[in-house]
Amino acid sequence: RVLDLGCAPGAWLQVAAEIVGPRGVVVGVDLQPVLHSFPDHVHHLVADIYEADPLALRGPSGRLFDVVLSDMAPNTIGHGDDLLSARLCARVLEVLPDLLAPGGNFTMKVLEGGEQPRLLRDTRALFATVKAYKPPASRDVSREIYIVGHGFAPTPAQVRSAPLDS
């Protein structure tokens, strides 16, 4: 099970769908609809991560995801974009215990800036291993980096249970 936050236009959904195959499940969430057609094991929700109930994002099964990807990015305005990006990332970390299974893996895009050290620290508190990664294909002028976490290990106090009827 893979959750893709900020999934539009659908590139990561497509890659995840190919990796998990028809026996897996991929769920994408974005403010914008995804116009691309996907196989039946790929689902897309138009939702706001600030307003959506994280437990509802799990779908009818209520099962946690094995992988959470976040490619969310703010509408850039030039000044303060890194702070807007950090706010999105902080929200993802806040809801992650309700979405990601223990031992699961995580990738989150963030714009480099003053909040990056805090985001790394907060991510390290949730995972066995964490690293910041700038893909070689990324342009030199790009401020995008990815924070990658392996071995999700939330504390019991951080995890809400899904309702019994989900």
Residue type, 145: I
H helix and E strand count, the chain: 4, 7
Choosing from 1, 44, 58, 109, which is the catalytic residue? 109
Residue 134 annotated among the catalytic residues of the structure = no
Burial 81-103 (b: 16+ CB within 10 A, else e): bbebbbebbebbbebbbbbbeee
Residue 124 in 3-state DSSP? helix
Measured between alpha carbons, how far is 72 from 145 in angstroms, rounded to an integer?
12
Instruction: Say how many C-beta atoms besides its own lie within 10 A of residue 135's C-beta.
Output: 9
Active site residues: 109
